[in-house]
Structure 1
Amino acid sequence: MGARVKTSTTALPGGGRRQWAADRALRPAMRSPGRPQPSRTVQRAFWRLIAEGLSTEKASAGVGVSWPVGFRWFRHAGGMAPMSLDEPTGRYLSFAEREEIALLVAQGEGVRAIARRIGRDPGTISRELRRNAATCSGKQVYRAGVAQWKAQEAAKRPKTAKLVGNDQLRDYVQDRLAGKVRRSDGTAVLGPTPPTWKGLNKPHRQDRRWATAWSPQQISHRLRVDFPDDDSMRVSHEAIYQSLFIQGRGALKRELVTCLRTGRALREPRARSRNEAQGHVTSDVALSQRPAEAADRAVPGHWEGDLIIGTGRSAIGTLVERSSRCTLLVHLPRLEGWGEVPPVKNGPSLGGYGAVAMNAALTASISRLPEQLRQTLTWDRGKELSGHALLTLATGTRVFFADPHSPWQRPSNENTNGLLRQYFPKGTDLSRWSAEDLEAVALAVNGRPRKVLGWKTPAEVFEEQLRSLHQSGVATTD
C-alpha cells in the first residue's frame, strides 16, 4: 500500500476541507477582481446623492471615492441608477459586518464567539468564512473587501433582456425609434448627414439624424394598441431607456440615443432656455379676448403658432391644432435678392419671415383647411405677424397674441417646437429644406402616438375631425 499523504487543515476554519471543496465545485469560475470595487452600500449611497441633484464630483466626495471613479460609475450606467436604491433586508451580511468578522478572525476568535459578537447564527459565520474567503495564496484568508465582492458576484442573477430574446419586439422598437422619415408616397427622406457620434450629447449647432423618433413611452403604450392579444409584445418604457443608456443592458446600440428628442447621451437634467417675447399688441387681440371654447380644447379649429429660427435669419412656421395636436409646417423661403442686395434699415425683410412674407405663407397654409377648422390662431408676440388684420380678412381666422413672457399660454406649440428641434437643431440653416421635406417631417410628428390622445396619433384624431365635419355637412345639406 502506498503511503498516505496527510493534508493539513490548519488553514481551514473547523477543518472543513471536504465542505470547502464542495463549495468550490458548485461555484462558477470568478474572474480576478483586481482591486475589489467599493461595496454596493457605497454605490447605493452615491446614486442616492445623484438622485438628490448633487453633481457627480460632489456625490463622489460624499461617499468617499475619487471623482474619476464616480464619473466612471455615472457614465457606464448612462446616468441611471443600475441598482435599487432601497436598503437590502437584514437577511444578508452587510459590509460593516464583514469588516467586523475580519477583525475578529484576525484576533483569533472562533466561529461561535464571532456569531455572538455580531448577533448572527454560527452557521452563517461558518459559511461566510468558507465560501467568501480569499484563496489566491492557496490558503483561506478572510478579507472584508474580497468577501463583499464574492458575495456581490454570487448574488447576481443574470437575466436575458426582453429586447434581446424577442426579435420581433426589438425590430418594432428600433423601427419606431430610429426608422426613416418618409414622404406621403412612402419614399424615404435621408435628411442631413450628422457628425459621427462620439458618445456625447447631441451636437451643438450641427445637424442631427432624422428618424421617426417615437419616445419610449409612446412605443410602450402603442404596443398594446397594435398587438392587443399578444402578451409577448410588451416592454416598459423604462426597459427601453435602460437598453439605450446602460452599457451591456439590452439589444439597442448606445448611439440610438441620438434618435431621442433630447439627444442626451446621459440621463440627467438639462437647462432650458426661454425666448424673450417681443412686439406690441393692441387690447382687442390680447389672449383675454379669445373665445372660451378655444381654451377647453373641446371644439376643433383653434390653433397655436410660432417660428423656429435658424442661422442666417432662416425660419420655419409651426401651427398646432389645440384639440388634435396636429402640426402644420409653414415653408418660408428666402425672398429674391437675399444675399445679393445689402440690407436696408427699415426696409423689406428678405430672410423669409417678414410681415408680408409671413402673411402670404400663413394664408396659403390655412386656406387649405376647411372653414370650420380655422377659427382662431394664438401667436407669440413676434413682429412677424404684425399684419394679422390682413390674415384675418383673407382666411377668416381671428388672431390673438399671448401675454408677454408667457409661453405656457401656447403649451401645445411650445411642446411641438421642442419635438421639431430634433429635426431642425438650433444653429443650422433652415432655408435649405423644401416644402416637401417639411411635409415629410410633419407626417412623422403627426404619426407619433400621444399619451394625451389616448395613444392615438394626431393624424388619426385630425382625420376623425374631418370625417365628423363631412358627415355633419352632408346631414345639413339633406
Structure 2
Amino acid sequence: MTQFHNNTESIKGKHLTQAERAQISILKSEGYSNRQIAERLGRAPQTINNEIERGTVQQMSRQKQNGKTYDYYHTVYDPDYAHDAYMENRKHCGRRPKWSLSDAFVDWADRQMLEHNWSPDTVVGTAREHDFFSDALIPCTTTLYNWIDQHIMRTKNIDLPEKLRRNTKTKTFKTRKHKRYLGPSITERPADVESRTTFGHWEIDTMIGAKQKHDAVLLTLVERQTRFEVLLKIDAKDANAVTKAVESLVGRAGDHMSSLFKTITSDNGSEFSTLYETLKSVTNVYFARPFASYERGTSENQHKFIRRFIPKGQSISDISDRQVQRIQRWMNDYPRKILNYQTPHDCFVKAFKQTQIA
C-alpha cells in the first residue's frame, strides 16, 4: 500500500507535476478510482479524469502457445508518456512572440542600432511615432532589450555603449563655493531656464580627445529645450581659442543673436575665463558651481553621444571639420524620447520660428 502521510499540500490552480503523475500511476494500479485519486492528491476529479485520458496508452503482450502467436492488447496509464505529452503541449501554449510573426521589424531594428547607432528605446519610440509597423509587430523597450539578451537580434550588448557604461548607483552631491569669480553664479539664473519652458538657453563646454598639450578640442554648445547641438573644433583648450570661436559664432548669428542666445551657462574652467567679458554686451552668461557637473546635465549627456564617435584618448586634431559636422548632424537628426521622438533639429526650427512670430 502506498504511504501518503506527508505534510505537503498541493497548490490548487497549478499544473500536475511529474511526481503527481507517478502517484496517479501507482494508485491506478492499486485499484483506486479517479475520484479517490483526486481526493488523495487534493485535486479536482475532472483534472484526474483528463490526465488519465491524455496519458493512457495501448500496450501489447505477445504469447506463443502450441506453435501459434497470440497478441493481447490492453490500456494503461503511463506517467512518463503523459509528462512528455504535457511538455510538448506546453511549447504551443501562450501567445506567439512578436518576433516570430515577421522579420520586418527585427531586421529594421538591427539596421538602426548597428548602422545608425540608435538605442533600443529610440527604435521602439520612432517606429510607433511614425507608424512604420503595425502595433502587433512592435515590442516595448524592455522586450527589445530581452530579445537582445536572448540573441534573437543580430545586435549584441556590446553594440549598445550606453547599456554597458550605465551606473545605477545613487550619487550624493556636495555644494562648493566659488574659489574664483568668472561671472554671475548659476543661482542668479532665471527660473524658467531650469524648467526648459522657454527657448534660447544654452550650455557650453569643451571636450578633449588625447591628453596632449597641443591637441585640438571640441567646443560644444547645446540648447536646453530642444537639445540642438553645435560643435566647433578649436585649436586648444585655452581662453584665446574659446574667445575666437565664440566671436565667430556671434558673427554668424547676426541680428538673431538676442533671440537665439538668451543665456549661456558654463563651468569654471580657465578656458572660459573671458567668456563673460566677451558676451556681456549680447547675452547673459552664468557659471555653474565648482565640481557640480549635474548643473549642466544636458551638456554632459550630449558628450556621451559624441563619445560614440570620438572615444577618450583619440586625437581630435586627426578628425576633420567635415567629420565633426557629420557628428553634429547625426546628433541633431537623432529622435529623442524626451522630445516625443522628434529630432532636435525639427524642434529647434519650430521653436526659432515661434520667436520670430512673437
Measured after TM superposition, the shift of residue 446 of structure 1 is 1.3
Moved more, 103-112 or 418-427: 103-112
Q: Secondary structure at the match of 1:300?
A: coil
Q: Would you say 1:353 and 2:288 are equivalent positions?
A: no
* Identity across the alignment (%): 24
Q: Secondary structure at the match of 2:162?
A: coil
**Partners in 1 of 2:135 and 2:118 — Cα distance?**
21
RMSD: 4.1
**Who is 1:222 aligned against?**
126
**Who is 2:42 aligned against?**
119
Measured after TM superposition, the shift of residue 91 of structure 1 is 2.8
1:93 to 7, 12, 15: 15
**Who is 1:292 aligned against?**
191
Q: Secondary structure at the match of 1:425?
A: coil
**Who is 1:48 aligned against?**
none
**Partners in 2 of 1:164 and 1:259 — Cα distance?**
23
Distance 1:278 1:244, change over 3 A: farther
**Who is 1:385 aligned against?**
272
Report 1:95-110 matches (<5 A): 95=17, 98-99=18-19, 102=22, 110=32
* Residues 222 and 230 in structure 2, CA contact (< 8 A), matched pair in contact too: yes
Q: Secondary structure at the match of 1:307?
A: strand
Distance 1:383 1:269, change over 3 A: closer
The unaligned stretches of length 5 or more in structure 2 are 1-10, 58-75
Distance 1:384 1:448, change over 3 A: same
**Who is 1:411 aligned against?**
297
2:248 to 364, 368, 375: 364
Distance 1:463 1:302, change over 3 A: same
**Who is 2:114 aligned against?**
178
Deviations 1:5-48, CA, capped at 9 Å, x for gaps: xxxxxxxxxxxxxxxxxxxxxxxxxxxxxxxxxxxxxxxxxxxx
* Residues 307 and 316 in structure 1, CA contact (< 8 A), matched pair in contact too: yes
Distance 1:357 1:273, change over 3 A: farther
Q: Would you say 1:327 and 2:327 are equivalent positions?
A: no
1:462 to 330, 348, 354: 348
**Partners in 1 of 2:341 and 2:181 — Cα distance?**
39
* Residues 12 and 43 in structure 2, CA contact (< 8 A), matched pair in contact too: no
Measured after TM superposition, the shift of residue 390 of structure 1 is 4.0
* Residues 114 and 155 in structure 2, CA contact (< 8 A), matched pair in contact too: no
The unaligned stretches of length 5 or more in structure 1 are 1-88, 180-211, 334-351, 473-478
Distance 1:399 1:439, change over 3 A: same
Measured after TM superposition, the shift of residue 377 of structure 1 is 1.4
* Residues 183 and 287 in structure 2, CA contact (< 8 A), matched pair in contact too: no
* Residues 359 and 390 in structure 1, CA contact (< 8 A), matched pair in contact too: no
Measured after TM superposition, the shift of residue 120 of structure 1 is 0.8
1:238 to 133, 138, 142: 142
**Who is 2:154 aligned against?**
253
TM-score by length of 2: 0.72
**Partners in 1 of 2:231 and 2:309 — Cα distance?**
12
Aligned amino acid, residue 93 of structure 1: H
Q: Which has the larger radius of gyration?
A: 2
**Who is 1:401 aligned against?**
287
Aligned amino acid, residue 330 of structure 1: L
Distance 1:105 1:298, change over 3 A: same
**Partners in 2 of 1:380 and 1:149 — Cα distance?**
67
Distance 1:90 1:299, change over 3 A: same
